[in-house]
Every structure is written in C-alpha cells, then in structure tokens.
Structure 1
Amino acid sequence: MASTETSPLNVEELNVTSAVLVAAAHHYGQACRVENDAFMKCRQEKKDPRACLEEGRRVTQCAIKFFRSLKAKCNDEFTSYWTCLDFNNQNYQECRKAEKSFNACAKEKLGIEKPEIK
C-alpha cells in the first residue's frame, strides 16, 4: 500500500533556464530577500541542510510566486530581456535597451527596483 504522507522533499519545482535566472536575479533577490536570508542563516547555524527543509521550501515558494507575478505583469519586457541575454551569450552590453524596459516594468508593476551594483 502506498503512503499518502507527503515527503518533506516533495515541492513544486521552478522550471526555468539559466538565462531566465540571470535576467531576473537582481529583482528576485529583492523580492525574496527575507526567505533567502532565513534559509542561509539556518544553513549556517545548523550546519545540516536537512534541518532547513522548511526554510528551503519557503525559498522555492517565494521564487515560484515571484516568477508567476513577473509573467503576469511584465512578460513581454522580461521575455525580450532574457531572450536577448540568451542569444548574446549573456553579454549585458548588447541587451541594455531590453534591460531598461524590463527594469521600468518591474519598478512600475511589481514595485521592485533593481539594486544599484557597487
């Protein structure tokens, strides 16, 4: 008889490419900072990733929520940006126009501003 109990490792996965992750990295970092920081703090303090499964689940849930919101509100701008990065071997200089458009949409419709890189 199969168990109906859910494994602590069964979570919805984020199914995106590296170009999508690179393009969204700064905005995702802003949107999910609290969850990511809590996970990293747990990992550092507990020194056992198994002790941080709940924090890891929250990171994944936040990422999924972020990307769904991105798709719903800035899909065209974001797709133009990550596609440009993908086709230009992640050469940011080639994609500044698309990046500017995406950043403006993320700020206006998601309330997330790209942090200034120092």
Structure 2
Amino acid sequence: MEESKSVSPQIGAGSRLILTFWLGALWSVGYLAVPYIAKSLPEWQSLALGLKYLTINVGIFCGLVVLIGRMFELSVAKKPLLETQSSLLVIMLLLSGVYSYRQYQVDVVMPEQDLLYGMVSLLGIILLANRKD
C-alpha cells in the first residue's frame, strides 16, 4: 500500500507537466505565431501550416505518454480505467488525430480544422483544471 502512494504523485506531476507543455504549444503556435505569420508574411503561409501540423503531432505524442501514465496510475490505485480525465484525454487524442489527418491531405487550413484545433485547446484547459494531483 505504501508503494502505490509513492508512485502515484510522481506520475501525476509528470503528466501535468506534459499536459501543460502540450497546451502551451497549442496556444503559442496556434493563436500567436500562426496568425502573426499569416498577417505579416503571407508568402510564409506554408511554414505556418507546417508549425500547426507539427504542434498537433507533438501533442499526439504527449497525449499518448500521459494516457499511458494515467492508465498505469489507475491500475496501481486499483481504480476503473474509464473515468473523466482519461475520457477527455482520449477525445483530445482523437480530435488531434483527425486534425493531423485532414492537414496531411490539404495545403490550406479549412474552417473545421480551426474548430478541431480550438476544441483540443479547450479540452486541454478543462483537463488541466480538473487534475487532482
């Protein structure tokens, strides 16, 4: 019993850090860098789209790492694997995967891609706000 108490906070703190990195990357690239590049340097539009695509793919990796850690944390605590935080994380990963696949197919951002990007960002905020580490 002592061992599970010492393992859980370490995983929780690491997952919070990774989630914060993921969300910070989404916001800094998607809402600061890309709009600035699009307005100031229209000829660099492909670079801006590439940055968003890269950010989403890094987010998928971060999300998978956090999900694996969360599943390990829940199994050590002998709790059910299906719970709110894991569900939000899976939804974020699915939306990121759809965005990544759609971005791979086209060279311009479509409105539904911006909606997907915004939904992933919003779910990330909800997930970070509800973490109880």
TM category (shorter chain) comes to 0.3 to 0.5
Larger helix percent: 2
TM-score, normalised by the number of residues in structure 2: 0.34
TM-score, normalised by the number of residues in structure 1: 0.38
